[in-house]
Amino acid sequence: MARAVSPRRKLITTVAAWAVSLLIFFPVLWMILTSFKTEASAVASPPQLFTADWTLQNYSDVWARSDYPRFFWNSVVISVGSTLLGLAIAIPAAWSMAFVPGRKTKDLLMWMLSTKMMPGVAVLIPLYLLFQRTGLFDTKIGLVLALMLMNLPIIVWMLYTYFKEIPSEILEASRMDGASLWKEVVYVLTPMAIPGIASTLLLNVILAWNEAFWTITLTTTKAAPLSAFIASFSAPQGLFYAKLSAASTMAIAPILILGWFSQKQLVRGLTFGAVK
Amino acid sequence: MTTTFRALLGATALLALTAGAQAETTITVATVNNGDMVRMQGLMDDFYAKHPDIKVEWVTLEENVLRQNVTTDIATGGGQYDVMTIGTYEVPIWGKQGWLTSLDDLPAEYDVNDLLPAIRGGLTVDGHLMASPFYGESSMVMYRKDLMEAAGLKMPDAPTWADIETAAKAMTDKSKEQYGICLRGKAGWGENMAFLTAMSNSFGARWFDENWKPQFDQPEWKATLDTYLHLMNEYGPPGASNNGFNENLTLFQQGHCGMWIDATVAASFVTGKDSTVADKVGFALAPDNGLGKRGNWLWAWSLAIPSSSKNQEAAKTFIDWATNKDYLALVAAKEGWANVPPGTRTSLYSNEEYAKVPFAKMTIDSINAADPNAPTVKPVPYVGVQFVAIPEFQGLGTTVGELFSAALAGQSTADDALAAAQTAVTDEMTSAGYIK
């Protein structure tokens, strides 16, 4: 039976939720507003949230100085490619861990997660040399592989958690009806885990889209994604905050829009199995 | 039939030869995001008109990211970059490692003897020019002429630290958020330590003695840090331990600083369209203490070719175009003399048109006042004015910078910061093998 919530409590919760959301979103809002200011008003002291001289000049300058469509396309290929490849590997892996676990499955899962605890820079030189020698440096396929490997532990863990919530009896029933392993995974398991798979996909696209260390280190011109595009507008000497904000807004806008439209799916997936 | 066949064969061969002659070489240029570099990218039509067989691809990165990427590439012999933008700090170290290609064979029109001696000296390793300067800078005093006049003071062209304190005191009015002096406080080898190392030279301090023994326990460093903390605590803006170049630039442009001692390249910003005090700025040499050395630094962003580059000839052609006298004339014609990359060539400073730029004379005087091979009063075993050209310096400079920044923030005393710096640097230099 659902517990009755008093209007006062509902109001307090709503206000608190809005306050926290605004707090989290405020830096992004500041960046977006700054992107429409002149360089002078972007660094006004004391800082001003709004200005009298709004301008689109920064976007025009950034567009003229860089090949944005190329960076954008590279980001799309790298983030979507690495996520799809990761899912293709992680779905069977998570299936086996969830439904036919061995004695060391838990240890294996922990080990996979522990690889995320290592700072990326620790493997910079080996990975750099590997990419150089194999011709993967500054290629989209190289970054797809690198980001897939980096995010694979998270993908496997998320899918494993979702799969664990699916009653194994349903899979057993499909097997009794004569389904092969392939059909069991593709036609029975996957449709039931769609919310989980969708949220895993979205989260990993976002993670890959925002990754900056490897995407900047392992590229120069051909495969550089939007993280490199942003980095090209950062300057230690000189005022480029408004242009940097415009570049950053252009870089995050696609993923922000994607997140906005898929937030229902994301939340549903992330809270999947949270309440029994 | 045979004749036709032969004619066709000949035509095909000729076409192939022509295509070969016009084959395009693509070079990758790694660079930083600053006004002069951005301007150069906008003038590439001139390069392509002169060299249609060379295509240039740019990798523009933030200074520290660029340094990391280029170091990784060059150390692993990757050859991803054909031309790199590197600073005066890297050139002696990388040149000695054999990581850079000598530029001694640039064409005669390049006129290597026209390069400013101080800048050329910092880019020369064992007698070979290892990088070509794109723009050079020193540091100087930028001050508010109107505030000085209101205080009844006149800034000498070559002030002492005592003059600076007098001026800072007179121009401070904290009730109006007007601070007598703005200096770098943000921790980092290229941030507060660039300023403090240059300042320490004018107090006769040095990082190391001739035997690489750290010198932070000597009275010269104590005098440097005490003066710096006194100036900043009494006359500086609040939260100065977080202020780097950009933060101080903003403060100065908006009229909150009476003086700012920083890079000469800032002169065009404080007199530019974004500055509210553009017509009230005066310039003076960095201060001294009567010991024969001023507190100004020397830096040049230069173009170099990594030895791993596979397109060395095309890279040299590009460097020649980007750093010769014709390029300066091109910028002057298209963007005006005030936007010409400063601090690289003697001929620029004998140009009558350039002499009209308000900060031109002080920039050249400041550059000439710095000597990377004899940066301070006493002899030193290293090269570099505001840095020590050894690979360990980035880490050392940042560690000491954090200690001094903490002292500015009031988290420790000058004595504690100096003692901790002495210990930290001694430990590092011992483990690196400099101290036996």
Closest to A145 in 3D by CA, of A202, A93, A208: A208
Peptide bond into A46 cis (omega under 30): yes
Q: Which CATH class is domain B139-297+381-431?
A: alpha beta
- One-letter amino acid at A266 equals L
Alpha helices (H) along A37-192: 39-42, 57-65, 68-99, 105-114, 124-134, 140-164, 168-176, 181-183, 190-192
Name the residue facing A45 among B76, B251, B274 (closest C-beta): B251
Fold (CATH) for A66-232: MetI-like fold (1.10.3720)
- Using a CB-CB cut-off of 8 Å, the residues of chain B touching A235 are 32-34, 62-63
Least confident of A81-95, B4-18, B49-63: B4-18
B79 within 8 A of B54, measured Cβ to Cβ: no
Residue B21 is predicted with a pLDDT of: 47
- Residue B10's pLDDT is 58
DSSP letters, A188-255, are IIHHHTHHHHHHHHHHHHHHHHH--HHHHHT-SSSS--HHHHHHTT--SSS--HHHHHHHHHHHHHHH
Question: Nearest by CB to A216, which of B57, B63, B65?
Answer: B65
What rounded mean pLDDT belongs to chain A?
89
- What is the average pLDDT across B280-286? 95
Residues 153-212 on B with a CB inside 8 Å of A are 190
- Give tens-digit pLDDT for A32-77: 999 999 887 887 777 888 888 899 999 999 998 889 999 999 999 9
Would the pLDDT of A2 be above 70? no
Would you say the C-alpha torsion A20, A23, A28, A32 has a positive or negative sign? positive
- Please tell me the distance in Å from B405's CA to the nearest CA on chain A: 18
Can you tell me the distance from the alpha carbon of B270 to that of A228, in angstroms, rounded to the nearest whole number? 30
Could you report the per-residue pLDDT of B29-51, keeping only the tens digit for each? 999 888 888 889 999 999 999 99
pLDDT category of residue A262 using cuts at 50, 70 and 90: confident
Spatial distance between the Cα atoms of B266 and B366, rounded to a whole number of angstroms: 13
Q: Do A125 and B76 count as a contact with CB atoms less than 8 A apart?
A: yes
Q: For residue A274, what pLDDT is reported? A: 47
Q: How large a percentage of chain A has pLDDT more than 90? A: 54
The pLDDT of residue A196 is above 60: yes
Fold equal for B14-130+299-355 and B139-297+381-431: yes
Which numeric CATH code is attached to B14-130+299-355? 3.40.190.10
Residue A113: is its pLDDT beyond 90? no
In Å, how far from its chain's centre is CA B26? 28
What is the percent of chain A where pLDDT is above 70? 94
* Residue range B141-165, pLDDT digits in tens: 999 999 999 999 999 999 999 999 9
Task: Tell me the percentage of chain B whose pLDDT exceeds 70.
Answer: 95
**Amino acid B35: pLDDT:** 80
Res A39: pLDDT:
83
pLDDT of residue B22: 52
B314-345 pLDDT, tens per residue? 999 999 999 999 999 999 999 888 889 999 99
Domain ranges within chain B, ordered by starting residue: 14-130+299-355, 139-297+381-431
pLDDT at A239: 64
Q: Which residues of A touch B254 (CB under 8 A)?
A: 43-45
Return the amino acid letter for B106: L
pLDDT confidence bin for A252, thresholds 50/70/90: very high
8 Å CB contact of B68 and A138: no
The whole-angstrom separation of Cα A215 and Cα A206 is: 14
- Look at residue B256 and tell me whether its pLDDT is greater than 50: yes
ipTM > 0.85 (yes/no):
no
